[in-house]
Amino acid sequence: MYLYNSISKKVEKFQPINENEVMMYFCGPTTYNYAHIGNARPAVIADVLVNVLEASGYRVKYASNYTDIDDRIIQKALEMNKDALEISQYYIDIYRKDLSSLHVKTPHYTPKVSETISQIVVFIQKLIDKEYAYVVDGDVYFNIEKINNYGVISHQKKEELVVGARIEENIVKKNPLDFALWKKSEHGKFWASPFSNGRPGWHTECVVMIEDIFKTHLIDIHGGGSDLKFPHHENEVAQSCALHHSTLANYWIHNGMIKVDGQKMSKSIGNVLYIKDLVEQFGGNEIRWFILSAPYRSELLLTPQTIQNAVVEFNKIKFAHKQLKVKLRLNGCDKTSEKHELFNDFLSHLQNDLNVSMATTVLFDLAKLINSQLRQKQLDFQLLAKLEATLDAMLNVLGYVLDDIVIDSETKSIFNSWEEAKTNKDFEVADRYRQILVEKGLL
């Protein structure tokens, strides 16, 4: 297994800390609104990575969080006269439903900030005690000047870093790049702490959750969108280095952004596309295919054409899947666990930094082989059963879900009557039987 590591900027051989076990964490969403297609990409990439690791023989423990406390959540709660956590839970439930529609499995652990407050407070106090953080009128800031390797994730020098994203100019900070660990506030949702009533800053939660879940200061894989490299992931590493002299994870992976018609998604432009709307229009498998249609580290362009390409391409796989399943079930063939050698080629591509493009090429090769075998006058059912097992395994690793084909005696009789009518050139009757089979989704 090989993965691109954002720290080294190289593809490296993957070596887990514990043999055959993988500890993995991906940053999840801030739940203040419906999830857009950009939120789906890291979730789908992580889902495929878990599948590939498991198919390669690893036992995976995977966590992804919910940032359920944030200024935007609190403001929306005040406007709607509701509790902030009620707002968050509403959008968490929708997010889970959206990801389920894309066939993304729920991570083994899904911690929330609101349920980790006590651990966060203890962590911040440790940073203060070791003088990596300082208190100013109830706010707590991390002092980046105390960290020598600040910039290890984003590969920027301190003096070149631009104040932006969630970093705000503040005259009380020792350095403009110092970031908030705790924000003093009694506005909306807040918690008591030794520093003040308030809530955590954004950058502390993931470090604490990782330690809380995995009971260690160093995991194997940490991931998220490339927009999180700076400041979020950079600041996570800074805190981990401060307390534990570790980069928090051995492999940092980042997916590229999705652009809509060449532009970054923005409410002001009006081009934000929500997962629920895209799935309703095109289908969950098809949108997942689109998300996986470009190398995960590259930008992904969403246009009417790229979506249509995904629909057309996945239809080819669906066609081969349906034809193969129908033929095998009609002939009473049992399933087998034996796979065709194409599966090894398929998996080896995915083990090479998730090369989905090459793996998909092998999937198409399999579909072509299935179609050609089904056209043979003398069918090799043993080979067809092996191709079925291979197709099922490939779809499972990539995370596509297609209904299995079940043919009962009544349906089998309709097929036989259809074939008989065609043989007798009774095309009107044949068309009636054909229409019944189409409505059953079998043709």
pLDDT in tens, 38-78: 999 999 999 999 999 999 999 999 999 999 999 999 999 99
- Say which residues have a Cβ less than 8 Å from residue 53's Cβ, sequence separation at least 6: 1, 22, 24, 60
Q: Tell me the percentage of the chain whose pLDDT exceeds 70.
A: 98
**393 and 422 fall within a common domain:** no
Tell whether 167 is covered by a domain.
yes
**101 and 194 fall within a common domain:** yes
**153 and 246 fall within a common domain:** yes
**17 and 125 fall within a common domain:** yes
Q: According to the model, what pLDDT value does residue 48 have?
A: 98
**Bridge-based pairing state of the strands 258-260 and 300-302:** parallel
Tell whether 207 is covered by a domain.
yes
CA distance 177 to 256: 25
- Section 339-363 average pLDDT: 98
Least confident of 46-50, 79-83, 102-106, 279-283: 79-83
Domain interval for residue 388: 279-398
**40 and 164 fall within a common domain:** yes
Tell whether 266 is covered by a domain.
no
Read off the CATH number of the domain in which 37 is found: 3.40.50.620
Q: How confident is the model at residue 408 (pLDDT cuts 50, 70, 90)?
A: confident
Q: According to the model, what pLDDT value does residue 419 have?
A: 85
**129 and 157 fall within a common domain:** yes
- In the predicted structure, residue 168 carries a pLDDT above the cut 60: no
Tell whether 345 is covered by a domain.
yes
- In the predicted structure, residue 120 carries a pLDDT above the cut 80: yes
**232 and 311 fall within a common domain:** no
CA distance 150 to 137: 26
- Section 221-248 average pLDDT: 97
Tell whether 261 is covered by a domain.
no
Structure tokens that stand for 86 in this block: 């009620």
**Bridge-based pairing state of the strands 21-26 and 59-64:** parallel
- In the predicted structure, residue 411 carries a pLDDT above the cut 80: yes
Closest CA relative to residue 324, chosen from 266, 386, 269: 386
Q: Tell me the percentage of the chain whose pLDDT exceeds 90.
A: 82
- In the predicted structure, residue 169 carries a pLDDT above the cut 80: no
Is residue 252 within a helix (H) or strand (E), and if so which, with residue range? Answer: strand 249-255
Q: According to the model, what pLDDT value does residue 170 have?
A: 61
**424 and 351 fall within a common domain:** no
- Section 67-93 average pLDDT: 95
CA distance 195 to 137: 8
Question: In 3-state terms, what secondary structure has residue 310?
Answer: helix
Tell whether 262 is covered by a domain.
no
Q: How confident is the model at residue 433 (pLDDT cuts 50, 70, 90)?
A: confident
**392 and 285 fall within a common domain:** yes
**Predicted structure pTM score:** 0.94
**207 and 68 fall within a common domain:** yes
Q: According to the model, what pLDDT value does residue 98 have?
A: 98
- Domain count of the chain? 3
Starting from the edge strand earliest in sequence, which strands make up the sheet with 179-184, in order? 133-136, 139-142, 179-184, 198-200
Tell whether 104 is covered by a domain.
yes
- In the predicted structure, residue 199 carries a pLDDT above the cut 80: yes
Q: Phi and psi dihedrals of 244, rounded to 5?
A: -130, 0
**344 and 239 fall within a common domain:** no
**111 and 143 fall within a common domain:** yes
Length of the chain: 443
Tell whether 269 is covered by a domain.
no
Question: Considering the chain, what is the average pLDDT of its residues?
Answer: 94
* Higher pLDDT among residues 74 and 419, named by residue: 74
Is residue 253 within a helix (H) or strand (E), and if so which, with residue range? Answer: strand 249-255
The domain boundary residue, chosen from 222, 255, 288: 255
Closest CA relative to residue 107, chosen from 20, 49, 31, 38: 49
